Copies of this chain bind each other. A is one copy, B any other.
């Protein structure tokens, strides 16, 4: 038999944490999708070798502390305003890679105008959109993308469209703006989906070298804390309930 020791050797290494990730333990709840997407972004930055050339914009939301984890220059944004900040940054430093990392409350509620108009102007930035159907950071309130019937602390008996409005497919709207060049919806619940999301993110970052307009990668995600489920259960629930309403795949690729 081969001993573990014989396998665990530098020359056999096939996967390790990106060096663009810091060693800070993440504050996210166990099983939170944010962590997976962080890793992917770090890997892409490492692979594209743009650590010194990229600026992240993280608005309020659980991931406002992303700057503790991805080892690049960061800019905190007010809730909903990341696309406006990114516009300011990119217009002044067009040679940098600029991305926002926004939650669904952020991008699709309070930041609706900033998001739509950054995309409509075709700002040459990348938007990473974590759609977990809930306000994670503030403790599980209804988000604009919360599904009908889904329970949250501000719709404790489930979202009812007559009172709470409909879940919004904001990504579909953004895909229709002439300013966007690449709009895709992905997930990170399986190794396969993680691979696809990574490809999508890479393309979304690379698009900035081609000045084609705004690239958007939505990641349909879980917030097991907000959903009040185990991480594993949350993934299953997402596949069963979120994916039918937010189907994965490219919405636009020009």
Which A residues form the contact surface with B (CB < 8 A)?
Answer: 109-113, 116-117, 120-122, 144, 161-162, 164-166, 168, 172-173, 176-179
Contact = CB atoms under 8 A, between A and B. Distances in A.
Given A112-B113, A161-B122, A177 B172 contact: no
27 contacts: A109-B113, A110-B113, A111-B113, A112-B112, A112-B113, A112-B116, A112-B117, A113-B113, A116-B116, A116-B168, A117-B144, A117-B165, A120-B144, A120-B168, A121-B161, A121-B164, A121-B165, A121-B166, A122-B161, A122-B165, A122-B166, A161-B178, A166-B177, A166-B178, A166-B179, A172-B176, A173-B176
Contacts of A176: 172-173
Q: How many copies, total?
A: 2
A161 B112 CA distance: 21
Contacts of A113: 109-113
Nearest to A168: B120
Given A113-B113, A121-B161, 14 more contacts: A109-B113, A109-B117, A112-B113, A112-B117, A116-B173, A117-B144, A120-B165, A120-B168, A121-B164, A122-B161, A122-B162, A161-B178, A166-B178, A166-B179
A168 B177 contact: yes
A149 to B, nearest CB: 15
A162 B110 CA distance: 26
Contacts of A173: 116, 173, 176
A188 B117 CA distance: 28
